[in-house]
């Protein structure tokens, strides 16, 4: 199966962004500023954000995308995860980088990167998903850290970020194989050895996606659905991307109504259950005729 060329175009931009982030994002920046800078840079290079840029500070682990009223800033002591994606024609390259100026957590970051590489090395010789999870878990523990057990990598499809197969960060038997033609992201999340090692939902919901384009008979809801579909199809989005023209609070009320009608899905922010810092590194890759290609 031929891997669509757009995946590699997205991956090239995502890879370039990783260097750009390390050079341009520094402690003291506002979370909203970081997200907007990353998203603007993606578009400047010819791509589109595949999902709202996630900024996970310390125990905030996933699905936190700053909104227009965000006032938070990063600090030198923080562990800051920047989870971003690029799409070209709906073909997604998903990746992440973790940064800190805190020497107490440098080893956590190094171990997470090495854990990702260990998982990649397994895929090169063994396409059983369970063995990838085993490599992540054993490598993390060998460095004195533990993986987040209820987060996982995932396959990707056009306009779908989480598609079909999950790639857990711990060993699990009986999982399917990774096959030629699969495009997927591996993303180990590591935390401290005395942490709970799993995430729980927070009350914050600031990422949404359209589940299905369906008429409701309500003009305001249908107009919003059309706007989302035309801009995003089924890819995740941030309310701040669609807020223009709405009075304060109105857009969120409409999104919650669409969610109630099961036309929109929300993604609660996820935090480490014991409040301990988490690091994340991620690559998107594909299995081609010639073997494994790292897209990002």
pLDDT at 1 exceeding the cut of 80:
no
Would you please indicate which residues are annotated as catalytic (active-site) residues? 83, 94, 154, 162, 187, 282
Q: What is the 3-state secondary structure (H, E, C) of 219-243?
A: HHHHHHHHHHHHHHCCCCECHHHCC
Statement to judge: residues 168 and 148 lie in one domain: yes
Number of domains in the chain: 2
pLDDT digits (tens, 9 = 90+) for 84-129: 999 999 999 999 999 999 999 999 999 999 999 999 999 998 889 9
Pair 100, 192 in one domain: yes
The string of DSSP codes covering 147-216 is: E-TT-EEEEEETTEEEEEEEEESS--SSPPBP-TT-EEEE--EEEETTS--SEEEEEEEEEEEE------
Query: Among residues 280, 281, 277, which one has the least CA distance to residue 60?
Result: 277
> What is the domain-level CATH number for residue 173?
3.90.230.10
- Say if residue 87 is in the same domain as residue 104: yes
Length of the chain: 296
219 lies in the same domain as 188: no
Asked if residue 214 and residue 138 are part of one domain, the reply reads no
Same-domain status, 231 and 143: no
Element (DSSP H or E) covering residue 61: strand 60-62
Select from 88, 40, 79 the least CA-distant residue to 59: 79
Instruction: Quote the CA–CA distance of 296 and 284 in Å, as a whole number.
Output: 6
pLDDT digits (tens, 9 = 90+) for 4-45: 999 999 999 999 999 999 999 999 999 999 999 999 999 999
Q: Are residues 136 and 283 in the same domain?
A: yes
pLDDT recorded at residue 289: 87
């Amino acid at each position: 199966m031929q891997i669509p060329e757009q995946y590699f175009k997205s991956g090239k931009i995502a890879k370039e962004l990783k260097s750009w982030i390390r050079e341009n994002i520094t402690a003291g920046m506002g979370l909203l500023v970081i997200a907007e800078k990353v998203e603007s840079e993606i578009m400047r290079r010819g791509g589109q954000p595949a999902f709202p840029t996630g900024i996970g500070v310390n125990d905030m682990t996933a699905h936190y995308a700053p909104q227009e009223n965000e006032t938070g800033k990063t600090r030198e002591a923080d562990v800051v995860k920047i989870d971003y994606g690029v799409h070209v024609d709906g073909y997604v390259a998903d990746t992440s980088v973790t940064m800190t100026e805190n020497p107490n957590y440098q080893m956590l970051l190094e171990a997470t990167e090495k854990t990702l590489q260990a998982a990649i090395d397994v895929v090169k010789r063994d396409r059983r998903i369970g063995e990838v999870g085993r490599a992540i878990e054993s490598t993390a523990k060998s460095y004195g850290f533990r993986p987040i057990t209820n987060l996982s990598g995932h396959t990707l499809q056009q306009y779908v970020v989480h598609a079909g197969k999950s790639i857990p960060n711990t060993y699990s038997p009986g999982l399917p194989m990774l096959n030629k033609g699969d495009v997927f992201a591996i993303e180990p999340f590591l935390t401290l050895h005395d942490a709970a090692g799993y995430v729980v939902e927070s009350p914050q919901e600031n990422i949404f996606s359209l589940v299905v384009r369906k008429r409701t008979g309500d003009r305001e809801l249908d107009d919003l659905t059309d706007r989302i579909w035309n801009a995003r199809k089924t890819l995740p989005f941030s309310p701040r991307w669609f807020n223009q023209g709405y009075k304060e609070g109105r857009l969120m009320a409409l999104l919650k109504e669409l969610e109630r009608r099961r036309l929109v899905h929300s993604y609660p922010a996820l935090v480490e259950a014991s409040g301990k810092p988490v690091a994340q590194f991620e690559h998107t890759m594909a299995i081609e005729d010639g073997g494994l290609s790292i897209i990002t």
